[in-house]
């Protein structure tokens, strides 16, 4: 194939770029198309929130960005480089915190460093992990086992693990989806503060529109399966927004538009009829 | 701590008392059913034999079990990681496991004539690897993909993922299976010692008691076997505490 047509300017502007991705899973009952014309572009240092009907292909999108999968067609770019496989500069967190039960919270957070920076002195690893645990309010819990923590605390630890190695791309696949509403809002604020302290570019999959508006710099609405980019909204709220920002008329308008877009994605008209 | 030891000891004493009572109340003679009070003299009279043959039984069981751990884990890894291997090997494994192992004793004694230690170890191995293979296989194949993905996304090798996540995560299932396998391995060893006697192991001692009509000796051997079984079982529990103690939620 010819050399990429990206100019240097594009490279700096969009840290994550997916162009025209198509993909089908091979299943027992034949190919299942999940992506069909997916385009996303995430400028460096920003948060892209992705919403879409359940089962439309959102997690598949995260696997493309993480280099865990190649699309049948289309291109995935990170940092102006074509993604061909996993890379050490990616961090991931999921709805299930998947902490390792036999490790303490501290050792769970350190795990990626063991892979990415095997020669980093233990002292520095611990210092880095403790710094993050402090930021998310888990100081004092570092030597506990995951089973001794609440769901929200486990998810905080999982977030620390996802950024401990200073990834430039953070992939969050519905990380707050299983939490109760109050804990979820606490974690939104934690996420906002982490963003201010650590430089990363993030893709956040969510099924909560308020979450997408609170954390996203843009909200990307995917169509029903097979997913294509249906709608992109720039979130025009201050970067250091508080939860109150969600109750402004501006936010209400955005939420309204997103709700209508989701209905269209689900194959219903805006009135809610199928 | 004291209670932890005294409770089972008292239970054993009650069991022995009931046994004694049963024999006494029915007026059973020795050759029908020996009573616990007959046993100390049997143990004392043959104490050297008990030590020598008990050790033979124990070490061959442990070697067989050790092989079962290694081969069982390897098979478990193969069927756990590859769906193709799982589909191919499961019927074979289940079929092999369903064969009554007593029928194999003459077969292996004919194939490996005179290799008594080897035959015994082989039987202990054959009878005990299956639970380990299945538990490791299931443990690996049911690993949630997210566990793999957190390391795979960083470019970690399959081996690293196995060592850091899959292996420790299957340890509780592995030890659960090992407890079953330890008991099975004992059965395998004794099967060969009794069915194809060659003068070694507690099974042979049992056989000689039978030949000589020494019923208290036969019962004493059974008790000695039970004792070794308990020791091996608790050795596995000890290893489990050391390597998979984190899975025990009792203390937290
Ligand atoms: N490895 C796979 N093999 C076959 N089908 C899959 C696989 N992964 C996901 N799917 C299917 O593809 C569709 C999209 O999956 P996913 O990307 O996980 O959706 P979402 O995260 O939006 O809910 C779903 O219908 C799912 O069942
Ligand atoms: Mg998903």
**CATH code for the domain of B143:** 1.10.3720.10
For residues B27 and B80, state if they share a domain.
no
pLDDT at residue B171, as a whole number: 92
Distance A56 CA to ligand 1 centre (A): 7
Evaluate whether residue B223 is within a structural domain.
yes
For residues B105 and B181, state if they share a domain.
yes
pLDDT digits (tens, 9 = 90+) for B161-216: 989 999 999 999 999 999 999 999 999 999 999 888 788 899 999 998 888 888 88
The answer to whether A148 contacts B247, with C-beta atoms less than 8 Å apart, is no
Evaluate whether residue B155 is within a structural domain.
yes
pLDDT at residue A269, as a whole number: 63
Q: Does ligand 1 have an atom closer than 6 angstroms to the CB of A241? A: no
Q: Does ligand 1 have an atom closer than 6 angstroms to the CB of A27? A: yes
Torsional class of A45: left (φ above 0), alpha (ψ -120 to 50), beta (otherwise): left
For residues B131 and B47, state if they share a domain.
yes
Q: What is chain B's length?
A: 252
The three state secondary structure string of B206-237 is HHHHHHCCCHHHHHHHHHHHHHHHHHHHHHHH
Distance from CA of A225 to the nearest CA of B (A): 22
For residues B23 and B102, state if they share a domain.
no
The neighbour count for residue A188, using CB atoms within 10 Å, is 19
Question: pTM of the predicted model, to two decimals?
Answer: 0.82
Q: Which domain holds residue B24?
A: 1-33
For residues B9 and B95, state if they share a domain.
no
Q: Tell me if residue A79 falls in helix, strand or coil.
A: coil
DSSP letter assigned to residue A224: S
Mean pLDDT, residues B142-146 taken together? 89
**CA A211, CA A201: separation in Å to the nearest integer?**
17
Residue showing tokens 């059965």? B187
Distance A173 CA to ligand 2 centre (A): 7
Give how many domains chain B has, as a whole number. Answer: 2
Distance A115 CA to ligand 1 centre (A): 28
For residues B9 and B126, state if they share a domain.
no
For residues B21 and B118, state if they share a domain.
no
Band of the pLDDT at B81, cuts 50, 70, 90? Answer: confident
Q: Which residues of A98-132 are buried (b: 16+ CB within 10 A; e: fewer)?
A: bbbebbbbbbbbbbbbbbbbeeeeeeebbebbbeb
Task: Give residue B208's Cα distance to chain centre.
Answer: 24
Complex-level ipTM: 0.82
Contact indicator for B217, B153 with CB cutoff of 8 Å: no
- Which regions of chain A are under pLDDT 70? 1-12, 269-274
> Which residues sit opposite B9 in a β-bridge?
none
Evaluate whether residue B157 is within a structural domain.
yes
The answer to whether B155 contacts A100, with C-beta atoms less than 8 Å apart, is no
The answer to whether B149 contacts A90, with C-beta atoms less than 8 Å apart, is no
Contact indicator for B123, B105 with CB cutoff of 8 Å: yes
For residues B145 and B216, state if they share a domain.
yes
For residues B92 and B10, state if they share a domain.
no
Distance from CA of A125 to the nearest CA of B (A): 17
Helix axes B167-195 and B201-211, enclosed angle (nearest 10): 30
Cis amide bond preceding B169, omega within 30: no
Distance from CA of A90 to the nearest CA of B (A): 7
pLDDT at residue B128, as a whole number: 95
Nearest residue (by CA) to ligand 1, atom 20, is A55
Evaluate whether residue B252 is within a structural domain.
no
Percent with pLDDT over 90 in chain B = 57
Evaluate whether residue B81 is within a structural domain.
yes
**CA A113, CA A132: separation in Å to the nearest integer?**
13
Task: Give residue A71's Cα distance to chain centre.
Answer: 19
Mutate to test the pocket of ligand 1, among A18, A22, A32 (most ligand atoms within 8 A of CB): A32
∠ CA A181-A245-A264, rounded to 5°: 70
pLDDT at residue A1, as a whole number: 38
Domains and CATH numbers, chain A: 1-87+203-274 (3.40.50.300)
Q: Is the pLDDT of residue B35 over 90?
A: no
Q: Six-digit token pair at B10?
A: 């008292």
Nearest CA in chain B to A96: B146
Evaluate whether residue B213 is within a structural domain.
yes
For residues B82 and B204, state if they share a domain.
yes
For residues B16 and B102, state if they share a domain.
no
Evaluate whether residue B106 is within a structural domain.
yes
The answer to whether A114 contacts B150, with C-beta atoms less than 8 Å apart, is no
**CA B53, CA B237: separation in Å to the nearest integer?**
25
The answer to whether B154 contacts A90, with C-beta atoms less than 8 Å apart, is yes
For residues B23 and B110, state if they share a domain.
no
The neighbour count for residue B201, using CB atoms within 10 Å, is 30
Contact indicator for A19, A71 with CB cutoff of 8 Å: no
pLDDT at residue A10, as a whole number: 46
Q: Confirm or reject contact between B4 and chain A (CB < 8 A).
A: no
> Which residues of chain B does A162 touch, with a Cβ-Cβ cutoff of 8 Å?
150
Contact indicator for A92, A62 with CB cutoff of 8 Å: yes
Atom of ligand 1 nearest to the CA of A61: 17
**CA B39, CA B41: separation in Å to the nearest integer?**
5
Q: Tell me if residue A187 falls in helix, strand or coil.
A: helix
Q: Confirm or reject contact between A90 and chain B (CB < 8 A).
A: yes
Q: Does ligand 1 have an atom closer than 6 angstroms to the CB of A68? A: no
> Which residues sit opposite A7 in a β-bridge?
none
Give the list of residues 6+ apart from residue B240 with CB closer than 8 angstroms, or none.
B175, B178
Distances (CA, A) of B217 to B31, B43, B207, B221: 11, 7, 10, 6
Q: Six-digit token pair at B172?
A: 């509780």
Q: What burial class does residue A266 get, using C-beta atoms within 10 Å of its C-beta: 0-12 exposed, 13-18 middle, 19+ buried?
A: middle
pLDDT at residue A274, as a whole number: 55
Evaluate whether residue B219 is within a structural domain.
yes
Distances (CA, A) of B164 to A111, A120, A163, A194, B156: 9, 18, 19, 27, 10
> Which residues sit opposite A94 in a β-bridge?
A173
pLDDT at residue A174, as a whole number: 95
pLDDT at residue A74, as a whole number: 92
């Amino acid at each position: 194939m010819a050399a990429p047509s990206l100019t240097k300017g594009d490279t700096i502007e969009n840290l994550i770029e997916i162009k025209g991705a198509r993909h089908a899973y091979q299943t027992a009952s034949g190919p299942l198309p999940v992506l069909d014309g997916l385009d996303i572009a995430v400028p460096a240092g920003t948060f892209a929130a992705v919403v879409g009907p359940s089962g439309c292909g959102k997690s598949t999108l995260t696997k493309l960005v993480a280099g865990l999968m190649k699309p049948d067609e289309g291109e995935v770019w990170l940092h102006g480089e074509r993604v061909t496989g996993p890379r050490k500069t990616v961090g991931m967190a999921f709805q299930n915190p998947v902490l390792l039960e036999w490790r303490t919270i501290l050792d769970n957070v350190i795990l990626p460093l063991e892979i990415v920076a095997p020669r980093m002195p233990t002292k520095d690893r611990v210092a880095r992990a403790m710094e993050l645990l402090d930021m998310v309010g888990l100081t004092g819990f570092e030597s506990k086992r995951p089973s001794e923590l609440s769901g929200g605390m486990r998810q905080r630890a999982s977030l620390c693990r996802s950024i401990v190695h200073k990834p430039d791309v953070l992939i969050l696949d519905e990380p707050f989806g299983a939490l109760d509403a109050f804990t979820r809002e606490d974690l939104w604020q934690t996420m906002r503060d982490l963003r201010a302290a650590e430089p990363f570019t993030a893709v956040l999959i969510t099924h909560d529109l308020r979450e997408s508006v609170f954390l996203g710099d843009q909200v990307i609405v995917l169509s029903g399966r097979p997913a294509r980019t249906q709608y992109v909204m720039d979130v025009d709220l201050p970067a250091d927004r508080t939860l109150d920002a969600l109750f402004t008329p501006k936010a209400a308008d955005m939420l309204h538009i997103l709700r209508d877009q989701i209905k269209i994605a689900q194959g219903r008209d805006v009135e809610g009829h199928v | 701590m004291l209670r932890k030891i005294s409770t089972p000891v008292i239970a054993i004493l009650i069991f022995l008392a009931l046994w004694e009572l049963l024999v006494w109340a029915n007026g059973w003679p020795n050759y029908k059913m020996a009573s616990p009070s007959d046993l100390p003299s049997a143990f004392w009279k043959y104490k050297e034999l008990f030590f020598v043959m008990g050790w033979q039984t124990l070490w061959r069981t442990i070697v067989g079990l050790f092989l079962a751990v290694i081969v069982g884990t390897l098979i478990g890894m193969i069927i756990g990681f590859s769906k193709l291997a799982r589909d191919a090997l499961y019927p074979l494994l289940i079929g092999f496991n369903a064969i009554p192992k007593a029928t194999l004793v003459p077969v292996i004694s004919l194939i490996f004539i005179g290799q008594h230690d080897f035959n015994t170890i082989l039987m202990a191995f054959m009878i005990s690897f299956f639970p380990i293979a299945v538990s490791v296989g299931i443990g690996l194949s049911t690993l949630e993909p997210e566990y793999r993905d957190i390391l795979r996304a960083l470019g970690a090798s399959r081996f690293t993922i196995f060592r850091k996540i899959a292996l420790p995560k299957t340890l509780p299932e592995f030890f659960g299976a090992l407890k079953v396998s330890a008991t099975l391995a004992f059965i395998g060893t004794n099967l060969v010692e009794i069915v194809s006697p060659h003068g070694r192991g507690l099974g042979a001692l049992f056989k000689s008691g039978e030949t000589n009509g020494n019923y208290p000796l036969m019962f004493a051997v059974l008790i000695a076997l039970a004792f070794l079984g308990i020791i091996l079982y608790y050795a596995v529990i000890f290893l489990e505490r050391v390597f998979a103690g984190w899975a025990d939620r009792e203390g937290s």
